[in-house]
Structure 1
């Protein structure tokens, strides 16, 4: 009380808060800026907005007329816009308060959840063209609504039929239906050609807080004509050219067991058609691995492509995927930062005026080479690292560059970007059908994590993000992306999905929902690699089927230096790939005695490899021939 009385009650409380926050920073130096801001609510970031309200309205109109806003949330009133939504059906029976109802899109037919005695032992593949209603998913899975990850995963697997052959009866499952097909345009009386009527409402003055005047975009935003959506049944081809099914992954340095596992999980879960003598009657996804063979601060040499393939061919973890059998679905591509940024119209004329290494407002300046500086045998400092070899030699620059690379790749080519520390757990057919852009929630915080990012090729949303990032010193950190979208009232255009779908252990690792956790129960991300002894028997007993079943993927958050399977630290894919296995076994300390209990990471690796060897089927009961 004496301290407060000296400063006055208000100023004393503020001073106490500052001292408290400073104490946290001293005791816990890893505390993030966001934690300090939660303690000091009066602290505010400067505005990031560089567009006028009329430009933001144009962005909303473009995305809605393209069918890229299948969300039931209303347009923020600050935008001052009303428009019929091509992404929603004409009538809805499940509106919640505050949700939009002015849909003029395709009618939806939701799949019935199967009941009765099922005789199949494996779940079916999703129907071609089926779509996950992510509005329904958010309703059941959103942490902001106090929803549990464990309950979310049950709804995801039951609604998708992943429990077929192992179904337990539940009552009143109508609210769990989240997968649908769109009705053909011929059977709908809605018009989808031409521009939709747009009504601009609200106050005429543009009073949205913006950056300083020198940073504003003065000319109206330039956007291409929107392409009206079309249903899957109206397509003349199996794949929709407007929505390519490309998984992008960015990797720096030597290929290891981490991207190897990501590719194996892709082959094990996605409808690649490798199990068929003919191509499947569905659109096959492809996996593009973007290789940056040098450190993030370096420039590839002119022979980089040839060198990249020679290194991949000699690498036991990468060489199996150069096999003829995988050539149409797994492709390696050279990442060249200069070429990639020059291919983005919104960046090409100005990006050289900025640093490429800005993360959350913290800029890393690259030192200039002196005239006598050698280019070879550089020390292992942050400017010359190619990958993270240990927790103390983290390749920070590559991480910063990858924050930008994911937006570049999705804007140029379309598709979905995945961080390399991602394992796919089920077919993504229903997610490909959702035309809107999405990322997922940063654990308990209402911010984005872009470890999974879906954006449409050449979208207005992409134009906004690149021009805004350019005016904000090319900062693509996910927390900063959250600020860009929130300041512009465009966050609805990048749907923030619950992290339960892609990162099911995250809340538990931060001490949330510990009393009702999903399975397996990870208290820390390293539990994937070092499974606690108390649950050490679970991986072998439950196997892949017991690993966050219902989630679309699992993100294990780095740990690049930990082997997936220490006692079998080599690619074990069968006789036709034995050369790489032999080469890896010859390395020092590549083998050790097999343990009685296997970690979750080892069980997953051995499961995927046994599928490639033809010793077991995948989760959909399909065998490689």
Structure 2
């Protein structure tokens, strides 16, 4: 590059300053400088101006003797022009910015003027679309779910559905005043809400009354949680605090049992109601056409049913309409059921487990017994006023990719009987409420009509669009283990052969992906609610069972689903949509992907995204949100549940179970499978009925189990407080509280004593 500038104080290479002479305006290049040689080449290149257009030869598919010649803009000429006009660095930035604007303009025009028939490619603009259902089917899914009583809400229906009739809603009471003009379909408009024709709601004032104020009352059988009210007080998108949400949940359910502070009128906090029978105005609905025949039904004059505005998944065909649906379920209030248990809405809690049975599913089951209305506090079956829930633990025998052997069921029960953590739940007293189920992937996938004919041609282990291929030679026959290490260290480090997560470095990724699929299959086939195994029950779920809509909960600050808790109705239209959509998207059931399925199909309202305060109250704090007003306890990391900081470790023993996120339905501690709940007493402490299992673990290794204090506790020997950890962590307090109930030392959270 030529220079004509004057540099007064430039240094020599030896550090001595010299005075520069004035340039003669001629280019000067140094033969010893590499950079100068490059500059000389750039100067010479400028003499030969490259053309603006060049010809590119492109091969023609299936024609070897011909090539297609295309005239395109010369990128080298563009770069030379930009650098000459703006400088080398600035010119490159201008060129990149111009290309970005060009791409953005093209896709903006495609988004604005493109139709469903013109599927524009979307590289660089987020994830590819996932939709495979036309608007006609999406409308039928909404009508089926609403007509079956699975939408007991006043939230608006997406206008993108273009429903031409107002759906009749048997789970919603009639409005006191007629629908406003803005909600009534008119010519050129679409339905924006449902028309309630169901039973009247009576909201309950639940609280303890003297002298029975030591424990909160059980929920009223048949009571229902109005999740619209819950959303008003708990929705993070509306800047609601978890702390305030938990107070509303406590007061509305009477969980403050005698400790209620005077708050004035709290009628707005009442979110639990009962339905009154025999006041329904429901008539008849043709669910194929959506035409309502109740008095005052309105229909839109718009007959358009195009799929404009819907973006189909690339390289996939539309699902052939109409989607096959069974007749809608006849909605019945609890008081109209012939028995407390509704066969269409079975009260089943599902959990999925892989690997040796440890203290993690042990605690989950104990918390279920401590909180739910199992009827075990009496020798006789409960009366007809309440429906007992059941806990089904699905056990996958071995690694996720393994095939169960022919004796897997027999081996499962044999292993459970020998396992000290599992054996107590085989006691006859628990046979009506706790069941162990053998998971068979092939059998379960074939049991879903929407999957059985096609799932084998997809990637079974696909999470978030990342498939994991399993070599055929690595697929082996599974076998049960009883807490012992199996296989070599190399096999444990191999992702395919892992059965459970023994540490953060040997995380069982495939089993987690399999559980993402399992939760949808179990709820769709059998009904009920799925919970991850790292979940602890904190209260009775009676009023959640009464709310018949499907739900999961929010992924912390993001408007996405976390399916660690999932309620999906048995054989529902929503379930059919999810399975067919996932199948066309290579079997991806990751919660983030499921969020995309429902959003693009405008079905988010049918799978309600509840606030994580209800099931995961610490999550926002662990991501540095709401730090100014955190709930109790205050966790900044999930591992603080197991390792409570010394400054806070007085709270667990002082406050106990009642001081742990009081008001929430459950707590999700997010993995940490390798951390024991009670390091100092790492065995089931359930009393004399199950002493054999306790002795087995206390005697293994042979010399005893070392405690956190370094002492060794031998079987049948006395122990002192010095053998225990001085400051108990939250996880330890929860475990010992649940165990005390089984031993008969204390009642459960509702003041009920377990009777054998």
TM norm structure 2:
0.76
Contact 1:411 1:455 in 2 (8 A): yes
Corresponding residue for residue 628 of structure 2? 515
Query: Are positions 1:355 and 2:454 aligned together?
Result: no
CA deviation map 1:415-457 (0-9, x unaligned): 0000000000000000000000000000000000000000100
Corresponding residue for residue 328 of structure 1? 432
> Which of 363, 369, 382 pairs up with 1:267?
369
3-state SS in 2 of match to 1:74: coil
> Which of 280, 283, 300 pairs up with 1:191?
283
Contact 2:417 2:423 in 1 (8 A): yes
CA deviation map 1:303-326 (0-9, x unaligned): 000000000000000000000111
State the structure with more CA Rg: 2
- In structure 2, how many angstroms separate the alpha carbons of the residues matched to 1:581 and 1:130? 40
3-state SS in 2 of match to 1:466: helix
Unmatched 5+ stretches in structure 2: 1-85, 102-122, 184-191, 293-298, 480-485, 710-723
Query: Are positions 1:505 and 2:618 aligned together?
Result: yes
Gap change, CA 1:368 and 1:535, over 3 Å in 2: same
Corresponding residue for residue 276 of structure 1? 378
Which moves more between the two structures, 201-210 or 156-165?
A: 201-210
CA deviation map 1:117-164 (0-9, x unaligned): 664211000000000000100110000000000000000010000012
Which moves more between the two structures, 309-318 or 362-371?
A: 362-371
- In structure 2, how many angstroms separate the alpha carbons of the residues matched to 1:591 and 1:466? 49
Corresponding residue for residue 604 of structure 1? 734
Give runs of aligned pairs for residues 76-95 of structure 1, distance below 5 A: 76-81=158-163, 82-91=166-175
1:71 Cα deviation after fit = 2.0
How many residue pairs were aligned? 599
> Which of 705, 720, 736 pairs up with 1:590?
705
1:607 Cα deviation after fit = 0.1
Corresponding residue for residue 106 of structure 2? none
Which moves more between the two structures, 159-168 or 439-448?
A: 159-168
1:104 Cα deviation after fit = 1.4
CA deviation map 1:524-555 (0-9, x unaligned): 00000000010011000000000000000000
3-state SS in 1 of match to 2:566: strand
- In structure 2, how many angstroms separate the alpha carbons of the residues matched to 1:294 and 1:92? 58
- In structure 1, how many angstroms separate the alpha carbons of the residues matched to 2:740 and 2:551? 33
Give runs of aligned pairs for residues 4-15 of structure 1, distance below 5 A: 6-8=92-94, 11=97
Query: CA RMSD of the aligned region, Å?
Result: 2.6
Corresponding residue for residue 617 of structure 1? 747
CA deviation map 1:18-41 (0-9, x unaligned): xxxxxxxxxxxxxxxxxxxxxxx9
1:373 Cα deviation after fit = 13
Ranked by relative contact order (alpha carbons within 8 Å, sequence separation 6 or more), the top structure is: 1
Query: Are positions 1:47 and 2:129 aligned together?
Result: yes
Give runs of aligned pairs for residues 301-340 of structure 1, distance below 5 A: 301-340=405-444
Query: Are positions 1:168 and 2:261 aligned together?
Result: yes
3-state SS in 1 of match to 2:353: strand
3-state SS in 1 of match to 2:505: coil
1:83 Cα deviation after fit = 1.3
1:624 Cα deviation after fit = 1.2
- In structure 1, how many angstroms separate the alpha carbons of the residues matched to 2:474 and 2:362? 38
3-state SS in 1 of match to 2:561: strand
Give runs of aligned pairs for residues 412-431 of structure 1, distance below 5 A: 412-431=525-544
Unmatched 5+ stretches in structure 1: 16-40
- In structure 1, how many angstroms separate the alpha carbons of the residues matched to 2:312 and 2:368? 43
> Which of 147, 154, 158 pairs up with 1:72?
154
> Which of 625, 629, 644 pairs up with 1:531?
644
Gap change, CA 1:600 and 1:194, over 3 Å in 2: same
Which moves more between the two structures, 77-86 or 551-560?
A: 77-86
Give runs of aligned pairs for residues 206-225 of structure 1, distance below 5 A: 206-207=307-308, 208-212=310-314, 214-225=316-327
CA deviation map 1:38-83 (0-9, x unaligned): xxx9732111000110011110111011000112211111111131
3-state SS in 1 of match to 2:560: strand
- In structure 2, how many angstroms separate the alpha carbons of the residues matched to 1:371 and 1:245? 35
3-state SS in 2 of match to 1:172: coil
Contact 1:440 1:448 in 2 (8 A): yes
1:197 Cα deviation after fit = 2.7
Which moves more between the two structures, 111-120 or 272-281?
A: 111-120
> Which of 546, 552, 555 pairs up with 1:433?
546
- In structure 1, how many angstroms separate the alpha carbons of the residues matched to 2:357 and 2:476? 32
- In structure 2, how many angstroms separate the alpha carbons of the residues matched to 1:194 and 1:228? 13
1:377 Cα deviation after fit = 4.0
Contact 1:416 1:455 in 2 (8 A): yes
3-state SS in 2 of match to 1:453: strand
3-state SS in 1 of match to 2:727: coil
Which moves more between the two structures, 131-140 or 377-386?
A: 377-386
- In structure 1, how many angstroms separate the alpha carbons of the residues matched to 2:243 and 2:303? 42
CA deviation map 1:89-138 (0-9, x unaligned): 11269x99998462112211111254986642110000000000001001
1:194 Cα deviation after fit = 6.6
Which moves more between the two structures, 566-575 or 2-11?
A: 2-11
Gap change, CA 1:215 and 1:172, over 3 Å in 2: same
CA deviation map 1:495-525 (0-9, x unaligned): 0000000000000000000110000000000
